[in-house]
Chain A
Amino acid sequence: MNDVATGEPLIVLDGVNKWFGPLHVLDDVSLSVGRGEVVVVIGPSGSGKSTLCRTINRLEPINSGTITFDGTPLPAEGRALAKLRSEVGMVFQSFNLFAHKTILENVTLGPVKVRKEKPAAVRERGLALLDRVGIANQADKYPAQLSGGQQQRAAIARALAMQPKAMLFDEPTSALDPEMVGEVLDVMTSLARDGMTMVVVTHEMGFARHAANRVVFMADGQLVEEAPPTEFFANPQSERAKDFLSKILTH
C-alpha cells in the first residue's frame, strides 16, 4: 500500500445532490480524495456509485452542492470543462473505444487534438503505454478485433495518454469474461502502486482489499460508511454494509 501524500485533497465533493426525475440518486454526498489516494466505491446496484463517479468529470451534472478538482470548482460547460476533462482520465464499463480507429489511433487522438502535441512524440508515448498494459502487438488492430480484456486495457492506455491527474474507473471489469478480469485488475494495481489518484467503482472485493487506501460504501444514494479496507471488511459499522458484505462474501 502506498503512502498517501498529505496536503490539499485533489477531488472534493461537498453536499452533492442529484435527482433523476423523482429518484434521489445522490443524497447529500460529501467525499474528498487526496493526491495519490485510491478510493474504491462499493455498494449494491442502484446505490448511485456509478453516478457519483460520473459527476467528478461532469458527465453527469449535479443539482446542488459543489465539486472541486485540484482547487477549482467544476466549470459548467464549454472549453473550461473540456480542459478539466482532459486532466481526468475515465475508464468505462463498456470500454467505449472509438470503433473506427485503430488501438494506437485511439490512444493518440486526445493528446494530438486536445493538447496539440506533436504526433510523432505522442505515437512513441502511446506505444510505450500499450506496451505497459501488455498489448503493444495489437496497436494497429481495430477495437472489434480485440478481446474484452485487451479492449479495456487499451481504454486505460487511452486515458493515461492524456497524463491525467486522476483516473476514474466506472465498473471497469463488470462487462468482462471472468478469465479476463485479472489482466485488467493487474494494470490497475500497478497504476495504484505508482501513485495515481484513483476513484474506482467496482464489485471486485479482492481489488478493494489489496489496492485501496479507503473503501467507500454507498446505499440508496447515500455515502453510508468509509474506512480503510482491512477495517471495513473485518468490522463494518453500518447494518447496510454488514448486510451487503454477508451477501457477497458467503459465496
Chain B
Amino acid sequence: MSVLIDKFDVFAGGFWLTLQICILAAIGALILGAVVAVLRISPVPPLRALGTAYVTVFRNMPLTVVMFFAAFGLPALGSNADFLRIPGLDAVFSRLGTDLPYFRFALIALSLYTAAFVCEALRSGVNAVPAGQAEAARSLGLTFGQNLRYVVLPQSWKASIVPLGSVIIAMIKNSALVGFFGVIGDLSQTADQLTSAGGYAFIPVAIGISVGYLIMTVPLGALLDRIEKRQAVAR
C-alpha cells in the first residue's frame, strides 16, 4: 500500500486533471443540454425534430463510440478543436491550450454525450409543471421565451435538480474513458502509468484511484439527498 504515500503526487495530479475535465464538461453539457431542451419543447416543429434527433443519437450511442468520433473524426476533418483554447480559461485549465488536442477532443465527446441526458433531465422538470401554468401565460400574451423564463423554468428547476445531479455523477464516472483516447494523466490513466510503467501492484493503485473518484461523487450524491429531503418537507 506504500504506493499511496510514495506516489501521492501522481494520484493528486490525476485527481486534479479529472476534476478539470469534469468541471468543463459539466459546464459544456449544461449549456448545450439546456439549448437542446429548449429545442425539444419549442412550438416550431423543425426545431423540435432537431432536438429529438440530437437526443436520439447521443443518448443511444456508447460514449466510447462518441469518443472515437471526436478523437479520430475531428482530426480527419482538419480540426484540432482550437475554438476551445479560450483565453483566460486556459490559464486555470492549462490542458485547454496545449498543442496536443486530445484533452479538447475528450471534452467535446463528454459534453456532447452528457448534454443529451441533461436535456432529458431538464425536460422532465418542465413536464412536472402543470400544463395550466403555461396555458395561463400564453393566454396573457407571453411569448414562448417569456413563458419559459418567467413562468415555467422558475417552477421546473426544483424537479430537475436531482435527476441533473445523477447525470453529472454518471458523467464523472464516464470521464474515466478519456485515458484511452489520448488524454495523459487523468485519474484512471494514472493506474495504467503506475502499474505497467511503474511496476506497482494493481490492487493498491486501484484503491487509490477509487478513492479519488469517490471524493468527487459521494459529496455530490449527499448534496442531492439533502436537496431531495428539503423538497419533500416543502411539499
Q: Measured between C-beta atoms, what is the minimum distance from A216 to chain B in Å?
A: 21
Interface of B is mostly: helix
Whether the pair A99, B135 counts as a contact (CB closer than 8 A) is no
Size of chain A's interface in residues, with CB distance under 8 A? 28
**Shortest beta-carbon distance from B130 to chain A in Å:** 8
Whether B141 contacts A96 by the Cβ 8 Å rule is no
> Which residues of B sit under 8 angstroms from A97, Cβ to Cβ?
136
Bound together, the chains give a CA A77 to CA B138 distance in angstroms of 11
Q: A109-B150, A113-B146 are in contact. Are A98 and B133 (CB under 8 A)?
A: yes
A59 at the interface (CB under 8 A from B): yes
Q: Is B140 in contact with A85, judged by CB distance below 8 angstroms?
A: yes
Of residues 62 through 118 on chain A, the ones whose CB sits less than 8 Å from some CB of chain B are 77, 79, 82-90, 92, 94, 96-100, 109-110, 113-114
Contact with A along B18-61 (1 / 0, CB 8 A): 00000000000000000000000001000000000000000000
What's the minimum C-beta distance from A6 to chain B, rounded to whole angstroms? 29
Question: Is there contact, CB below 8 Å, between A98 and B151?
Answer: yes
Cβ of A162 within 8 Å of any chain B Cβ, yes or no, is yes
Give the CA-CA distance A155 to B136 in the complex, in Å.
9
Is the CB–CB distance between B138 and A59 below 8 Å? Answer: yes
Given the complex of chains A and B, what is the CA–CA distance between A157 and B104 in angstroms? 54
* A150 contacts the other chain (CB 8 A): no
The answer to whether B140 touches A114 (Cβ under 8 A) is yes
Q: A159 to chain B: which residues have CB within 8 Å?
A: 139-140
> Could you tell me the distance between the alpha carbons of A96 and B134 in the complex, rounded to whole angstroms?
9
Contact with B along A210-225 (1 / 0, CB 8 A): 0000000000000000
For residue A47, CB closer than 8 A to chain B, the reply is no
Contact present for A114 and B141 (CB under 8 Å): yes
Find A98's partner among B43, B137, B138, B141 (CB 8 Å cutoff): B137
> Which residue in A92, A110, A155 is a CB contact (below 8 Å) of B141?
A110
**A54 → chain B closest CB, angstroms:** 9
Interface residues on B, range: 10 to 19
Given contacts A77-B43, A79-B143, contact A96 B150 (CB under 8 A): no
Q: Find out whether the CB atom of A59 lies under 8 angstroms from the CB atom of B135.
A: yes
Asked if B73 is at the interface (CB within 8 A of a chain A CB), the reply is no
> Which of chain B's residues have a CB closer than 8 A to the CB of A79?
143
Contact string, B120-164, partner A, CB cutoff 8 A, digits 1/0?
000000000010110111111111001000110011000000000
Q: Please report the C-alpha to C-alpha distance between residue A83 and residue B142 in the assembled complex, in whole angstroms.
A: 8
Determine whether A158 belongs to the interface, using a CB cutoff of 8 Å to chain B. yes
Between A57, A87, A100, A159, the greatest number of chain B beta carbons within 10 A of the residue's beta carbon is seen for A100
Instruction: Tell me if B154 and A85 are in contact (CB < 8 A).
Output: no
> Which of A85, A86, A92, A114 contacts B132, CB < 8 Å?
A92
- Chain B residues contacting A92 (CB-CB under 8 Å) are 132, 135-136, 139
Given contacts A77-B43, A92-B135, contact A109 B140 (CB under 8 A): yes
**Known contacts being A94-B132, A99-B155, is A83 close to B138, with CB within 8 Å?**
no
Min CB gap B157→A, angstroms: 10
CB-CB under 8 A from B132, the residues of chain A are 92, 94, 96
Q: Which residue from A84, A99, A162 sits with its C-beta under 8 Å from B133?
A: A99
| Closest residue of B by beta carbon distance from A77 | B43
Residues of A within 8 A of B154 (CB): 100
In the complex, what distance in Å separates the CA atom of A79 from the CA atom of B140?
12
Instruction: A60 to B137: give the CA distance in the assembly, Å.
Output: 15
> What residues of B have a CB within 8 angstroms of the CB of A109 in the complex?
140, 142, 150
Contacts from B to A (Cβ < 8 Å): 43, 130, 132-133, 135-143, 146, 150-151, 154-155
**Extra contacts besides A82-B142, A85-B138 (7): CB < 8 Å:** A59-B139, A77-B43, A85-B140, A94-B132, A110-B142, A158-B140, A162-B140
| Closest 7 A/B residue pairs (Cβ) | A86-B141, A96-B136, A96-B132, A110-B140, A90-B139, A114-B141, A85-B141
Q: List 11 A-B contacts (CB under 8 A).
A: A85-B138, A90-B136, A90-B139, A92-B132, A96-B130, A96-B132, A100-B154, A109-B142, A113-B150, A114-B142, A162-B141
